[in-house]
Structure 1
Amino acid sequence: MEVSGWKRSLVYYADWALKLVYVNILWLFGSVLGLFVTGIFPSTIAMFAVIRKWLQGEDDFSTFMYFRQVYQKEFLGSNLYGYIWAILGFILYFDLQFFRQFTSLWSLLLTYFTFMIGVIYVLCLLFAFPVYVHFQLRPLQYIKNTILLVLSQPIVSVIMALAFYFPYYLMIKIPGLLPFFCGSLIAFCLMMIAMKLFNKLEKKAQ
Structure 2
Amino acid sequence: MMLTGWKGKLNDFLEWAMRLAYVNLLWIGGSLLGLLAAGFFPATIAMFAVVRKWLQKDEEIKTASYFWKIYKSEMLKGNAFGYCWVILGLILYFDLSFFRSFSNLVSLIFTYVTFLIGAVYICSLLFAFPVYVHYDERVFQTVKNSVLLTLSRPLFAIVLAIAFYLPYYLVFRVPGMLPFYSGSLIAYCLLFVSLKIFDNLEQLEKD
Band the TM-score falls in, shorter-chain normalisation = over 0.9
Work out the number of aligned pairs and report it.
206
The one-character-per-residue Cα deviations of 1:48-81 (angstroms, maximum 9, x if unpaired) are 0000000000111110111011011111000000
Letter in 2 for 1:80: A
Q: Does 1:50 align with 2:45?
A: no
The one-character-per-residue Cα deviations of 1:3-31 (angstroms, maximum 9, x if unpaired) are 11000000111111110001000000000
C-alpha separation in 1, matches of 2:15 and 2:65: 19
C-alpha separation in 1, matches of 2:124 and 2:201: 17
The SS at the match of 1:175 is coil
C-alpha separation in 2, matches of 1:107 and 1:6: 59
Q: 1:129 is matched with which residue?
A: 129
Letter in 1 for 2:72: Q
Deviation of 1:203 (Å): 1.8
Q: 2:165 is matched with which residue?
A: 165
Gaps of 5+ in 1: none
Deviation of 1:192 (Å): 0.7
Q: 1:75 is matched with which residue?
A: 75
C-alpha separation in 1, matches of 2:146 and 2:174: 32
Q: 1:203 is matched with which residue?
A: 203
Q: 2:98 is matched with which residue?
A: 98
Q: What TM-score, normalized to structure 1?
A: 0.98
Q: 2:40 is matched with which residue?
A: 40
Q: Does 1:179 align with 2:175?
A: no
The one-character-per-residue Cα deviations of 1:125-144 (angstroms, maximum 9, x if unpaired) are 10100000000111110011
Letter in 2 for 1:19: R
Letter in 2 for 1:16: W
Q: 1:190 is matched with which residue?
A: 190
C-alpha separation in 2, matches of 1:174 and 1:111: 36
C-alpha separation in 1, matches of 2:55 and 2:130: 12
Deviation of 1:175 (Å): 3.0
C-alpha separation in 2, matches of 1:168 and 1:2: 33
CA RMSD in angstroms comes to 0.7
Q: 2:15 is matched with which residue?
A: 15
Gaps of 5+ in 2: none
Q: Does 1:149 align with 2:149?
A: yes
Percent identity of paired positions between Structure 1 and Structure 2: 53
C-alpha separation in 2, matches of 1:172 and 1:62: 29
C-alpha separation in 2, matches of 1:9 and 1:193: 21
The SS at the match of 1:176 is coil
The one-character-per-residue Cα deviations of 1:131-164 (angstroms, maximum 9, x if unpaired) are 0000011111001100010011111111111111
Deviation of 1:205 (Å): 1.9
Deviation of 1:202 (Å): 1.4
Q: 2:139 is matched with which residue?
A: 139
